[in-house]
Amino acid sequence: MSKPIDRTHKERRTGLRFMLTYVKPHRSTFMLIFICTLLGISADLLQPYLVKIVIDDVLTKPGHDIRLLFVIGGSYIGLSVLSFVFTYVQDNLLQHVGQNIVVRIRKDLFRHISNLSMSFFDRRPLGALVTNVSSDTETVNQFFTNISLSLMRDGITLLLIIAMMLKLDAVLALYSMILIPVIAGIAIGFRPMLRKTYEQTRLQLSRLISFLAENLAGMNIIQVFHQEKKQLDKYTKLNRLNLEVNFTKHRTTIYFNRTFEFLGNLALAFLVWAGGMAVFNHSLEVGVLFAFITYIRQFFQPIIQITQQWDKLQSATVSMDRLWQVFSIRPEVMDPRLENRKDIVLSDIKGRVDFENVCFGYTDGIDVISNLNLQIKSGEIIGIVGETGAGKSSILNMLGRFYDIRSGSIRIDGIDIRDIPQATLHRIIGFVQQDPHLYSGSILENVRLFNSAIPREEVIQACKFVGLDPFLQRLNQGYDTQLSERGGGLSAGERQLLSLARIVVYQPKLLILDEATAHLDSHTEQMVQNALQHLTTGRTTLVVAHRISTIIDADRIMVMKQGRIVEVGSHQELLARRGYYAMLYKQSLGKNEKKDSVAVSKEKGEGSVLVTC
């Protein structure tokens, strides 16, 4: 049931055809819905015919049989009940299938987006994705539960009415049909206009949501830089545009619908005139005229319905196309093909890492990392230093395979990381970032990442180990405190401790730290350093340090400049070389001296300088 749909050979399909792949498993239910609709409508349309029989065969005929009136009356009620039952069944079935299909699409979409590479998220605004997942799928839901039903029901109604009218009086029926080309012409003429206004409204709404999502996510920056007014102005502008396109859409829709209503009334007037004349001339029975008038009214009803649903269909196809566009994006980072896949036993991983002639860039043409070569022994601790933008984080991103390299290879224990399934790779590597992401949920769940196989006790132990426990003790609900999406309720330092606790719980073979202690005060940082000392023992570790002093104990330090390794060696070796590293170190000492002296003089009121080396 929840098997993802294979899309490899279906890339050229349009949105609508793609959606039909979701309909296929429900074919039999749709068939049942069709039959119920057909029966329901037939029961409805037979009713005016019964009245015709009453008028022509009972009321206007001399010596009429009163019992026939009862029989016909009973049949009329019977038909009403049948129509009710069939419509009820058909409506419920359709809701059931429609909702199920949309649940499935949402699930597939979320899974698909989760598998897309980081480069996709670099390019795609968050809000546009939120629109895709929420409102586009809702429009598709409307399509299945509402639009498709209406199109089917009204289509069948139209055909049956035409059949009934032809049966009653072919000449009058053919006169009524004259209007059909006019109707078709108007519908075709309006089509591009309707489609355009619908695209516009969707586009504006998506822009509005994008703007909102981004601003909510970055509200702190907006406030810090006093950009509230500017952003509000931008929002007001977007809001106004949204309003305008909605007005245009409604105006167009009203024109469209009223035109048809007017046509309907015109047809009715014509029928009353032509039919009335025929009755006077005795060439038409009164009952037939009555049935005709009822049918012609019902004839325009489905046409108006269909055209009203038409614009919804337009927006549904736009949504389907957009969903399809997201679905058709292939992740740049792909899992290995079956024949290349190396199955790895996690416990066998030693943790040797080799970078060989690695070139990498985020955008075409610009290399961020050029020709990187480095062999890291199992259990070795590598410090990475360099100026901002030197490419430190990029190396870690490549190793975690958030991005694929352009050329060369990265191997863990001699296995190319492209041959390791991503899920396995991410179990091998533990990442601690500067701004760890927390999810809505309790602290407990955030540490074990919703993996309930990890016992509570283990989480508590891990938090004690990294020194987070004392902070949590202060909270009313301790480990069960609920965090909001962005980790609200915890300080930046506490969030970082929490992400370290994750590492303790998950015990990855390879540890990657990207400026992981940048948000910590010196006391907490010391605690983290102690915890890290334990964590890094015997575990291959790559540390990007925001302060050189934190990595001087590393086995080797890799010094980076403009995407290249310019020096490698231990702290002492590098200092002795008096090169780029020595200069960076000297600079950082200067910074630390200033920083620490300020801190110390504030706390103790004296000017002694303390630098840990």
Ligand X SMILES: Nc1ncnc2c1ncn2[C@@H]1O[C@H](COP(=O)(O)OP(=O)(O)O)[C@@H](O)[C@H]1O
Contacts with ligand X, residue ranges (CB under 6 A): 122, 362-363, 368, 386, 388-394
Least separation, in Å, of the C-beta of 25 and Mg ion?
47
Contact 481, 472 (CB under 8 A): yes
Which of 129, 432 has the CB closer to Mg ion? Answer: 432
Least separation, in Å, of the C-beta of 392 and Mg ion?
5
- What angle do helix axes 286-327 and 228-280 make, rounded to 10 degrees? 150
Residue 544 φ then ψ, to 5°: -95, 120
Q: Which of 132, 201, 315, 393 binds Mg ion (CB under 5 A)?
A: 393
Which option in ligand X, Mg ion, none does residue 2 bind, with CB closer than 5 to 8 A by kind? none
Least separation, in Å, of the C-beta of 397 and ligand X?
7
Scanning 10-18, 85-93, 387-395, 479-487 for contacts with Mg ion by CB under 5 A, the matching segment is 387-395
Please give the size of the binding site for Mg ion, defined by CB under 5 A: 1
CA gap 427, 79 in Å, rounded: 65
Q: Which residues neighbour 475 within 8 Å (Cβ) at sequence distance 6 or greater?
A: 443, 481, 489
Which of 67, 123 has the CB closer to ligand X? Answer: 123
Q: Which residues neighbour 310 within 8 Å (Cβ) at sequence distance 6 or greater?
A: 187, 191, 194
Which of 117, 393 has the CB closer to Mg ion? Answer: 393
Contact 331, 120 (CB under 8 A): yes
Tell me the C-alpha to C-alpha distance, in Å, between residue 312 and each of 22, 184, 191, 196: 20, 18, 12, 12
Which option in Mg ion, ligand X, none does residue 275 bind, with CB closer than 5 to 8 A by kind? none
Least separation, in Å, of the C-beta of 351 and Mg ion?
23
Strand, coil or helix: 265: helix
Which of 33, 558 has the CB closer to ligand X? Answer: 558
CA gap 108, 490 in Å, rounded: 33
Q: What is the token pair recorded at 297?
A: 């009214």
Whose CA is closest to 293, among 273, 321, 307?
273
Scanning 285-293, 390-398, 519-527, 593-601 for contacts with Mg ion by CB under 5 A, the matching segment is 390-398
Which option in ligand X, Mg ion, none does residue 388 bind, with CB closer than 5 to 8 A by kind? ligand X
Which of 315, 393 has the CB closer to Mg ion? Answer: 393
Q: Nearest residue by C-beta to Mg ion?
A: 393
Sort residue 463 into left (φ over 0), alpha (ψ -120 to 50) or beta: alpha
Least separation, in Å, of the C-beta of 375 and ligand X?
21
Scanning 65-73, 114-122, 251-259, 391-399 for contacts with Mg ion by CB under 5 A, the matching segment is 391-399
Whose CA is closest to 544, among 413, 428, 388?
388
Which option in ligand X, Mg ion, none does residue 55 bind, with CB closer than 5 to 8 A by kind? none
CA gap 571, 556 in Å, rounded: 7
Scanning 116-124, 322-330, 389-397, 420-428 for contacts with Mg ion by CB under 5 A, the matching segment is 389-397
Least separation, in Å, of the C-beta of 120 and Mg ion?
20
Which of 27, 123 has the CB closer to ligand X? Answer: 123
Which of 255, 362 has the CB closer to ligand X? Answer: 362
Q: Going by DSSP bridges, is the β-strand pair 540-544/381-386 parallel, antiparallel, or unpaired?
A: parallel
| Residue 346 DSSP label | G
Which of 393, 540 has the CB closer to Mg ion? Answer: 393
Least separation, in Å, of the C-beta of 392 and ligand X?
3
Least separation, in Å, of the C-beta of 157 and ligand X?
55
CA gap 313, 327 in Å, rounded: 20
Contact 331, 310 (CB under 8 A): no
Scanning 73-81, 99-107, 388-396, 584-592 for contacts with Mg ion by CB under 5 A, the matching segment is 388-396
Q: Which residues neighbour 547 within 8 Å (Cβ) at sequence distance 6 or greater?
A: 588, 592
Least separation, in Å, of the C-beta of 219 and ligand X?
22
Least separation, in Å, of the C-beta of 117 and ligand X?
11
User: If 0-12 CB within 10 Å is exposed, 13-18 middle and 19+ buried, where does residue 453 land?
Assistant: exposed
**Residue 517 in the binding site for Mg ion (CB under 5 A):** no
Scanning 265-273, 353-361, 392-400, 529-537 for contacts with Mg ion by CB under 5 A, the matching segment is 392-400
Return the HEC string of 34-73. HHHHHHHHHHHHHHHHHHHHHHHHHHCCCCCCHHHHHHHH
Which option in ligand X, Mg ion, none does residue 4 bind, with CB closer than 5 to 8 A by kind? none
Which option in Mg ion, ligand X, none does residue 480 bind, with CB closer than 5 to 8 A by kind? none
Which of 392, 509 has the CB closer to ligand X? Answer: 392
Which option in ligand X, Mg ion, none does residue 368 bind, with CB closer than 5 to 8 A by kind? ligand X
Which of 253, 393 has the CB closer to Mg ion? Answer: 393
Which of 368, 548 has the CB closer to ligand X? Answer: 368
Q: Which residues neighbour 326 within 8 Å (Cβ) at sequence distance 6 or greater?
A: 109, 112, 113, 129, 132
Least separation, in Å, of the C-beta of 495 and Mg ion?
17
Residues that bind Mg ion in the complex, under the rule CB under 5 A: 393
